[in-house]
Structure 1
Amino acid sequence: MDYHAIMSLIAKGRTYSEITASVGCSYRDVAAAKRAMTAAGITEQRLASLSAADLQDLFPDQRKAVSGQYADPHFVQVIEQMKHNRFFTLQQGWVNYLAGTSSGKKYSYSQYCERFNQFAETTDVVATLQHEPGKAMFVDWAGPTLPLIDPATGETRKAYFFVASLPYSGLVFCQAFDTMKRDSWNQAHVNALAFIGGVPQLIVPDNARTATHRPRGKDSEVVVTAAYRQLAEHYQCAIVPARKKRPRDKAHVERMVQAVETRIIGYLASQSWTCLEELNEAVHERLVDLNDRLRRVNGSTRRELFEAEEAALLAPLPDDPFESVEDKQLKVGRNYHVTSDYQHYSVPYEIGWEDLVGADYREHSQCV
């Protein structure tokens, strides 16, 4: 509580309502400050010379006196244990705390956990993800786009950038597409897996519409789309979407997207592009620089770490790449044609019209 601000407003003759609205305190806090000013004879002139120590003497924190009776749980050491040992739990930390030789009372397990959560919030401590080689591939669309200009018509369309990365080695894949629809999303995955030369155990996408959906409007459950699930089954891997409103779940790919934006898109934004093929050739050249030439703090490149420790742990690619297939049931019309995607396919006239009209196209597919 900012008692100095409360006393300043009291000295200026402000009302209780004005002080509580301005400082965000309670009437009880204002009354306590007024009593302290009266007891110590504090005027507006003397208030300006009060130090933090003086305010501490006037308004002592009773919680510190209570907590001083308990042994220090040493949460900094607990966090270091968690960083270096992913199997270390908070309960183990509490057991070690009880077994310690420190004098004073010991917190119960619930108090220990509550104080650890308070410590984690005040020091901005987050869980450290221990990435394993060959375990996961993170995927997402980059935010920025580049214009593609048709030289004949002058029409401009957008190029969207797909980003995939392996969190252990940091190997990055990027490719430009003219849409962010399902076919582009799936083809981007096929190309990314071919780029790394293997299949990880998990693919972690953001909650893009081409990746996930909710069966019911207010249902919190996230379901992988059918086409995306077929891709996972083809490559024998699992898809684990990042949780909604949990940016730390996909912090790695966000950093890789930022690297793509600065080292690939930023370099190419000053040039004019007329087709995806030309743009993706330039993207590939920038990827070589990012993966094979740029050395990080430890002196290694992304490619070197990938080849040394991660490539051998990836599952092999299937013999054939995944292809999106859409299954349709069509009806034969009165004009002896079946229509699919604005294409008309005729049916031999020898077959009687009454046998075909309204019939299931699958039953007469050999006639097409």
Structure 2
Amino acid sequence: MALLLQGRSYREVVETAGCSHRDVARAKQVIGANGITSVEGVSDAEVAGWFPDGRRRVSDEYERPEFESVLQALKHRRHFTLLQGWRRYADAAGTGKKKYGYAQYCALFSDWARTNDLVAVLRHEPGRAMHVDWAGDTLDVVDRGDGSVVKAYLFVAVLPYSGAVFCRAYPDMKSEAWLDAHVQAFAFFGGVPQLVVPDNPTTSTHQRHKGDAERVVNARYQQLADHYQCAIVPARAKKPRDKAAAESAVNVVNLRVIGYLEGETWFSVSELNEAIDERVREVNRELRRADDSTRWERFETEEQHLLTALPDARFEEVAWKQLKAARNYHITADYQHYSVPYSLAGQLLRVRLTSRLSIWRFGGHRILRLGASSIAVGGR
């Protein structure tokens, strides 16, 4: 509102305040409706009355945690975690109001710290999160046939608590590479954290509204999260502290991996990945930090056992289509024709396409193979 009263444009307000165009329009509407000429002296109660959202009524039903003491414990007690703070809050005798769950407790603590403009070193909890991002620098791969050079892009994943790093090269940064990199990272660590924190690449998120800085996870990325039973929490735009661990890991990869390998010639991405594995092994297992521990030592002793076990089946992307069986009891999927039981002729069928050859059952009918895909057929 102050920026609007200064005569700033919508675009300037959005860039300065990090809000959406809808927020600016709403603030402009309130200014006009209430004849506001200055925000000096405006109380919190007045702001709450101008912008009601119902959250205050809901929050009144819950007992408010005391975050100041939690922050001091995080600063001065090395082994204190937010989980301990939440358990004390949940177990303490209260006023009879509801208690927040652990996830909401953590979110409220983060909001409280930002609101109070606190810059504190918050210790990450083991097994809770994995930060992921693409490294900014690339490596060149030479085609043996014609000598052409293509770029290899490096995916980086890090567990903030132990600092254990994973890195893998891909010929592009498309969705298929992004999803496969996560699968490879989970396998590398031998388990799945509770949260995955990506940046905001278009391969994993999409904008909900034009001009809105908020992004939501797309369907393909959500399939992977559902398969591994973890949550995807994209970092906020222009909030580097949300992804500080990933930025640090990218810097390590730029120095210790790309810096060592960029002077050599690579003829395939698989060959490059073998060299990357050696460099990552050195970063994780040989480089000792200030406390004389390695990343991998801390990972194995304090974090690995807290990761969720990998699912029995490897993730594969699934696409569903509705196709009608022709009178000759054939359907066409992925440019191929396949016969179905003659009793299904003329019916609308649900077809499940996957990228790997496998045999499944769906709706009482056996899945039959289509080239590089498998197909599951079921009735309406």
Q: 1:266 aligns with which of 259, 262, 272?
A: 259
Match of 2:201, SS?
Answer: coil
Query: Aligned pair in 2 of structure 1 residues 233, 264: CA closer, same or farther (>3 Å)?
Result: same
Q: Name the counterpart of 1:249.
A: 242
Q: Does 1:83 pair with 2:83?
A: no
Percent of residue pairs identical? 52
The structure with more strand, counted as a fraction of residues? 2
1:162 aligns with 2:188: no
Letter in 2 for 1:177: Y
1:291 is aligned to 2:284? yes
2:76 maps to a residue whose letter is: H
Give distance in 2, aligned partners of 1:365 and 1:198.
Answer: 32
**Corresponding residue of 2:220:** 227
Cα pair 2:323 2:331 within 8 Å, conserved? yes
Matched with 2:17 is: none
Q: Is the 8 A contact 2:196 2:231 kept in 1?
A: yes
Change over 3 Å in CA distance of 1:366–1:171 after alignment to 2: closer
Number of equivalent positions: 255
- Structure number with the higher helix fraction is 1
Instruction: For 1:312 and 1:79, locate their aligned partners in 2 and report how far apart those are by CA, in whole Å.
Output: 27
* Alignment root-mean-square deviation, CA: 3.5
The residue type paired with residue 165 of structure 2 is V
Q: Secondary structure at the match of 1:83?
A: helix
Give the whole-Å Cα distance in 2 for the aligned partners of 1:79 and 1:304. 28
Structure 1 residue 315, shift from structure 2 partner: 1.2
SS of equivalent residue, structure 1 residue 329 = strand
For 1:240, which of 230, 233, 248 is the aligned residue?
233
Aligned to 1:152: 145
How big is the shift at 1:344? Answer: 3.0
**TM-score under structure 1 length normalisation:** 0.61
- Whether the 8 Å CA contact 1:294–1:301 is kept in 2: the answer is yes
* Match among 176, 179, 190 for residue 183 of structure 1: 176
Look at both structures and tell me which one has the larger radius of gyration over its CA atoms: 1
Q: Which amino acid aligns with 1:283?
A: I
CA drift at 1:347: 5.2
- Counterpart for residue 344 of structure 1: 336
Once residues 339 and 157 of structure 1 are traced to their aligned partners in structure 2, the CA distance between those partners, rounded to angstroms, is 36
Contact 1:183 1:324 in 2 (8 A): no
CA distance in 2, matches of 1:79, 1:204: 23
Q: Which amino acid aligns with 2:181?
A: A
| Structure 1 unaligned regions, length at least 5 | 1-77, 89-115
Deviation (angstroms), 1:345: 2.5
Task: Indicate the SS of the match to 2:322.
Answer: coil
1:215 to 208, 213, 224: 208
The separation in 1 between residues aligned to 2:309 and 2:338, in whole angstroms, is 43
Deviations 1:71-126 (A, max 9, x none): xxxxxxx98766226779xxxxxxxxxxxxxxxxxxxxxxxxxxx99xx98xxx62
- Structure 2 counterpart of 1:314: 307
Q: How does 1:1-368 map to 2 (within 5 A)?
A: 83-84=75-76, 126-330=119-323, 340-341=333-334, 343-345=335-337, 360=348, 362=350
- Whether contact under 8 Å (1:337, 1:344) holds in the other structure is no
Kindly state the Cα deviation for residue 160 of structure 1 after the two structures are TM-superposed: 0.8
Cα distance between partner residues in 2 of 1:262 and 1:335: 62
Counterpart position of 1:4: none
The Cα of 1:224 is off from its aligned counterpart by 0.8
The alpha-carbon deviation at position 245 of structure 1 amounts to 0.6
